[in-house]
Amino acid sequence: MSAMPGVVAINTFREAVRDRVLYNLVFFALLMIGAAILVGQISIGIERLVIVNLGLSAISIFGLVMAIFIGVGLVYKEIERRTLYSLLAKPLRRWEFLVGKYAGLVLTLVINTAFMTVALAAALFYVGRPFVRSDGSILIAIYFILLSLALVTAVALFFSCFSSPMLSTLFTLGIYVTGVFANDIRNFGALTNNPMLKTLTSAIYYLVPNFHNFNSIAAAAHGESIPFALVWQNTLYALMYIVLLLLASSAIFSQRNLK
């Protein structure tokens, strides 16, 4: 494997920084400061809980917005600007371009999330709470959010290989929402007496990425420990799905007529 995907990834990250994507960090910091100051005044007994819940939810929502809206334009923008042609004229294969683009956006999300994590820790420190061992579950929850964001990015990239940004956004959002409700969809099928519907809901359950797996915000907020088995199982699940989507994306993109 050549170093080209790495070069593409670095440039994708630089482009995101140039597009002032990381400005959302300012908003996140303000949100954390506001919550830390306000919540104690308007609620009872949940100062720490709100900081953790709000922090983790904001990390997830901001990341999700970035992953979807930047992800769906990763390929399309390059085609629109016609920069893709000059790139592919270099010794860069189409799949390398895709992997590089994907890695660049994931790198952006990782750096964005890292800064948000620091802001969250600062807010927790501000509300006068010493860090304890169970805070490890907050870090694990953030890791799970990153895994889900990496997966959403792969879904967005997949759709962007053959569809317009508008449709890709709708498709990605649809897959995400279906993935969040995956358990409910299967349970719905199990409740019916229709074997065909049962098979269909089971198929959907196993086909769409199960984003419910990666949600451990509540557990982290309550300081509950997250089993190590879940960490490696979720990691493996996300990796396998991402590889699957990147392979499918590469297959579609390599066949696409760019003339």
Partner 1 sequence: MWIALAAIPVLFASLFLLQVRIDARTRTEAQAQQELMLRSPAAIDKMSLGYNSLLADVYWTRAVQYYGSRVATPHATFGLLWPLLDITTTLDPKLLPAYHFGAIFLSQTGVGGAGRPDLAVKLVKRGIAANPKRWGLYADLGFLYYWHFQDYKDAAAAYLAGSKIAHGPSWMSIMAARMDQKGGSIETSRMIWTQIYDSNKNPTIRKMALDTLKGLKAEQDEAGIDDLVTQYRQRFGRPPSSTAELRDTGLLRGIPVDPDRYPYVLEPDGKAALDPHSPVKIPRVPKTPPPLPKN
Smallest gap, in angstroms, from Cβ of residue 223 to partner 1? 10
Complex with partner 1: residue 216 or 250, whichever CB lies closer: 216
Smallest gap, in angstroms, from Cβ of residue 58 to partner 1? 9
Complex with partner 1: residue 76 or 176, whichever CB lies closer: 176
Smallest gap, in angstroms, from Cβ of residue 242 to partner 1? 20
On whether the CB atoms of residues 147 and 47 are closer than 8 A, the answer is: no
**DSSP letter string, 146-202:** HHHHHHHHHHHHHHHTTS-HHHHHHHHHHHHHHHHTHHHHHHHHHHSS-HHHHHHHH
Smallest gap, in angstroms, from Cβ of residue 129 to partner 1? 14
Give the residues lining the site for partner 1 (CB under 8 A). 39, 42-46, 49-50, 53-54, 57, 60-61, 177, 180-181, 184, 211-212, 215, 217-218, 221-222, 224
Residue matched to tokens 């809206």: 69
Complex with partner 1: residue 14 or 222, whichever CB lies closer: 222
Contacts of 183-191 spanning 24+ positions with Cβ under 8 A: 183/210, 183/212
Closest CA relative to residue 46, chosen from 3, 38, 164, 215: 38
Complex with partner 1: residue 92 or 180, whichever CB lies closer: 180
Complex with partner 1: residue 30 or 218, whichever CB lies closer: 218
Smallest gap, in angstroms, from Cβ of residue 20 to partner 1? 26
Residue 257, judged by CB atoms within 10 A of its CB (0-12, 13-18, 19+), counts as exposed
